[in-house]
Structure 1
Amino acid sequence: MLDFRPISYVFGRILIVLAILMVAPAIVDWSAGDSNAWAFVVSALVTGGGGGLVALATVNRAVGAFDIRQAYLLTAAIWFGLPVFAALPFMLGVPHLNFTEAYFEAVSGLTTTGATVIYGLDEMPAGMNLWRGLLNGAGGLGIAFVAMIFLPVMRVGGMQFFRTEGFDTFGKALPRATDIARDLLGVYVGLILIAGVTFAAIGMTALDATVHAIAAIATGGFSPRDASFNPYSGAGEYFGALFMLLGSLPYIRYVQLVRGTPRALWRDGQVRAYLKILAVAVGSVTLWRWLTSDMDLETVFRESLFNLTSIISSTGFFSGSFSLWGGFMLPVAFVIGMMGACSGSSAAGLSVFRVQLIWAALVQQIRLIVMPGRVVPVKYDGRTVEPDVMDALILYVGGFILTLGVLTVAMTLTGVDAMSSLFAVWTCLGNIGYGFGPLVERTGTFVDFPDIAKWVMTLAMISGRLGLLAIFVLVLPRFWQR
């Protein structure tokens, strides 16, 4: 029989951490004399109290390793349950959202999607904008832990390929998961600090620099301004693109970098392919826009670099008039958004690793047609890819595309136009946060979508972050009968 107590204990501890995070925005608003601080105080008491009671009630069963079913359930509990408590400040304080919109906003923050239903960010209390940034930061760090520890064990989407590599033979022996997690935390916080100092140096306010730094490294995309990076065009776009790029590289490589193996980052075939894909996308869109408009080359390049990096890294910041360009830019943005960035980071999408393997498998099949007697195994970075990895990978990619189609149809049934529906599901399933379509143009947010459509988008965000198959597994009767 499945024991829920270890899951409940860990979930309770996570709620306590979430409550502690609520203290920071409460202090910010209290220091500014804003009564919105009480929304965070009440939310922290409810969240911390509930988490503490759950943890205390199950502490005597907290010892022991998790089995595979408990790993699935804990992951699902975090992504479905945590936003309920993270949504409390949005309902109790400004902007006083209803539950649907508050849950949407919390899910978007924790899954680092960056899609928002709030318009009027510039006038919101500073603490609330900080809270949105903290949700991105907590979600990004949690996703990195899940990508490095849980997904390889859960065998989701071919990630079992990294199970041995991630903890034993990444160039040389690495310590156990807890030591990697500690190093990862140091690297993550260090990158945020560097980004924050850099953004402040180019003229951002303290709040903008802090939130943008957290959201860039977490590839979360929440900004304290309705215009996102437009107030900081120029240097802000170049440095923003740099930090979004750094946040979308495999975190395990940073751990190696800290441990004295700097070459591992560049030797990673996934990293090299990612940079090449981004370069081709930026170069082609820049050339197309320069030839078809009266914009100068530097402006076109800067906006293309920033926005396409935001899309492929699944961040969600925007600048300039890029979202209105249309034409050749749209299919390029759609493809790289689906593809995503590197596995093992907080970025989402299919991931470059999976795209590389699918391409390698396609090439292998073509060779088999030409030379049927030749047996050539699929390889990745010199390692043979086992059949179970390829089976999981093909199932994941097929499920991703099928889910995109089904949820897009579901969106249109809610009354949303076809283009807005397709790109809304695309941005949520890929945790991209970047909006296109008629319903997004007025505010640049998803506030004009009907509530039922927001629930479809919320399901897409969680499905994309859980790796799709984790949800499908949970609804199978056999999962509960074992």
Structure 2
Amino acid sequence: MIDLRPVGYVIGLIVSVLGATMLVPGIVDALAGTGNAGAFFEAALISVTAGLITTMACQNRAGSSLSIRQAFLLTICIWLAVPAFGALPFIIGAPEVRLIDAYFEAVSGITTTGSSVFVGMDDLPVGVHLWRAMLNWLGGLGIAFIAMIFLPVMRVGGMQFFRTEGFDTFGKILPRATDIAGQLFFIYLSLTLACMGTYAALGMSGIESVEHALATIATGGFSPRAASFADYSASLHYAGALFMLLGSLPYIRYVQLVQGSALPLWRDAQVRGYLTWVASAVIAVSIWRVATSDQPAEAAFRESLFNLVSIMSSTGFGMGTFPVWGGFAVIVAMWLGIIGACSGSSAAGLSVFRVQLMFAALKQQIQRIHAPHRVSPIRYQGRRVDMETIDAMVLYLGAYILGFGVIAVLILQSGVDFESAVFASWTSIGNIGYGFGPMVLPTGTFVEFPDVSKLLMILAMIMGRLSLLSVFVVILPRFWRD
């Protein structure tokens, strides 16, 4: 039987810290005189108390190293427990929604999906907007840690390839996870501050620049405005696209850049592929839009750039009329969302790395058909990729496609129309946050979806955020046997 005390100890500490962070939006609401501050203070008290009780109950196992099974379980429990407490302010105070809607919003925030079920966004208290952005930021930071530290060690979906490629970059392996975490936090915070300052300099109000910056670098997509970025200037659209791109690049490359080595960033095949695919998609959709409408070229390019970067980086911000462009633009957007951005960032989707590896494996199989006796090992950035990594990657791709299809069918069966169901599964399992379909367009949210559909989307968001296989591993009976 797995010893749950080390897991409980860490969960308790995280919930306590989460509760303490609720004081920030509470103080903001108190200063703004919104009348909603008490909801955050009450939620903070509940969260801190529950976290401390859990920590004290499990403290006799404090400091114990985690086994691989405990690491899997801890990773999943964090993304189940944190939203449960993160949802409390939405239930106790504004917007005073039902449990299912509050949990949906919190899961969407902490998984950096960006989908919402809140309506009347412009009328919500400033503290609620700040808390949603903070959930994005905290979730993106946590995902960066998991992507760079836990997933390679747990050998999920081919991520073991980064176990040495990612960390053996300073002449030696980084000795402890805390060293990696410290440098990742510095990069993450620096990008956030740079984004915040840029937004403010370009005309965004102080509090909105903070909220948007937190959500942008986390690739989370929660905006304090119902229209997202649509009401802002063209310069802010370009700045948003830039920082969404920066937030979806591998963080380990930024660490190397700070250490004085820029070459790994420029030589990274994943980064080059990501930027090339984004640029190609933006140019193609812009040309298509200009050719099929009367929209000016600059506006078509800017709207395509912002929305496609938002989708491929799994951020979820939106602007303009892109959701109703239809046809070619929607197909391109769907494929970009499935591919996703770079591994080792807070972005989601299959990841450029896995797709590139899939193409390399496909190329090898085609070569074997033409020349059965030819020895042609699969290589990525000059390194030979072992078959264990390929097998894990193929298994992950299969699980992703199967999960996407099953979730879409189940949402369809719950009473949602076909288009809305397909894109609800797409946006959830890819943590994209973008909504398409008749049930989404009227409000721009998923509030009209049945509760069963919302539960399925919650499951898909968590599965997609945690690389699917880690969820499947935990639900197997064998996982719980000694």
Superposition TM-score tier, normalisation by shorter sequence: over 0.9
- Unaligned 5+ residue runs, structure 2? none
- Separation (CA, whole Å) in 1 of partners of 2:377 and 2:176: 31
| Aligned pairs for 1:357-396 within 5 A | 357-396=357-396
Give the match's secondary structure for 1:350: coil
- Separation (CA, whole Å) in 1 of partners of 2:164 and 2:54: 34
Shift of 1:455: 0.6
8 A Cα contact 1:233 1:319, kept in partner: no
| Aligned pairs for 1:33-432 within 5 A | 33-169=33-169, 173-432=173-432
Shift of 1:174: 4.2
- Separation (CA, whole Å) in 2 of partners of 1:63 and 1:327: 55
Superposed CA offset, 1:223-248 (max 9, x none):
00000001113011100000000000
Correspondence 1:20 to 2:20: yes
Shift of 1:167: 2.3
C-alpha distance 430-367 of structure 1, shift in aligned 2 (>3 A): same
Which deviates more, 470-479 or 270-279?
A: 470-479
Which residue identity does 2:337 align to in structure 1?
A: G
Superposed CA offset, 1:301-345 (max 9, x none):
000000000000000000010111001001100101000000000
Query: What TM-score do you get using the length of structure 2 for normalisation?
Result: 0.99
- Separation (CA, whole Å) in 1 of partners of 2:174 and 2:165: 9
- Separation (CA, whole Å) in 1 of partners of 2:175 and 2:281: 38
Give the match's secondary structure for 2:13: helix
Shift of 1:171: 6.5
Q: Which residue of 1 aligns with 2:465?
A: 465
Shift of 1:354: 0.1
Shift of 1:175: 5.0
- Separation (CA, whole Å) in 1 of partners of 2:117 and 2:64: 41
- Separation (CA, whole Å) in 1 of partners of 2:172 and 2:236: 38
Give the match's secondary structure for 2:58: helix
Which residue identity does 2:234 align to in structure 1?
A: G
Which residue identity does 1:137 align to in structure 2?
A: W
Shift of 1:35: 1.8
Which residue identity does 1:369 align to in structure 2?
A: I
Which residue identity does 1:53 align to in structure 2?
A: I
8 A Cα contact 1:167 1:175, kept in partner: no
Shift of 1:450: 1.1
- Separation (CA, whole Å) in 2 of partners of 1:174 and 1:65: 18
- Separation (CA, whole Å) in 2 of partners of 1:201 and 1:22: 28
- Separation (CA, whole Å) in 1 of partners of 2:41 and 2:135: 16
- Separation (CA, whole Å) in 2 of partners of 1:431 and 1:442: 21
Give the match's secondary structure for 2:236: helix
Seq. identity, %: 59
Superposed CA offset, 1:139-161 (max 9, x none):
00000000011101111110011
Superposed CA offset, 1:326-369 (max 9, x none):
01001100101000000000000000000000000000000000
8 A Cα contact 1:248 1:342, kept in partner: yes
Aligned CA-pair RMSD: 1.0
- Separation (CA, whole Å) in 2 of partners of 1:455 and 1:323: 24
Which residue identity does 1:29 align to in structure 2?
A: D
- Separation (CA, whole Å) in 1 of partners of 2:282 and 2:167: 35
8 A Cα contact 1:171 1:264, kept in partner: no
8 A Cα contact 1:168 1:174, kept in partner: yes
8 A Cα contact 1:340 1:350, kept in partner: yes
- Separation (CA, whole Å) in 2 of partners of 1:234 and 1:327: 25
C-alpha distance 170-420 of structure 1, shift in aligned 2 (>3 A): farther
Which residue identity does 2:332 align to in structure 1?
A: V
Which residue identity does 2:194 align to in structure 1?
A: I
- Separation (CA, whole Å) in 2 of partners of 1:324 and 1:207: 30
Q: Which residue of 2 aligns with 1:441?
A: 441
Shift of 1:397: 0.3
8 A Cα contact 2:116 2:447, kept in partner: yes
8 A Cα contact 2:169 2:256, kept in partner: no
8 A Cα contact 2:220 2:314, kept in partner: yes
8 A Cα contact 2:281 2:332, kept in partner: yes
Shift of 1:173: 5.0
Shift of 1:263: 1.7
8 A Cα contact 1:22 1:131, kept in partner: yes
- Separation (CA, whole Å) in 1 of partners of 2:442 and 2:448: 9
- Separation (CA, whole Å) in 2 of partners of 1:452 and 1:417: 14
Shift of 1:177: 2.1
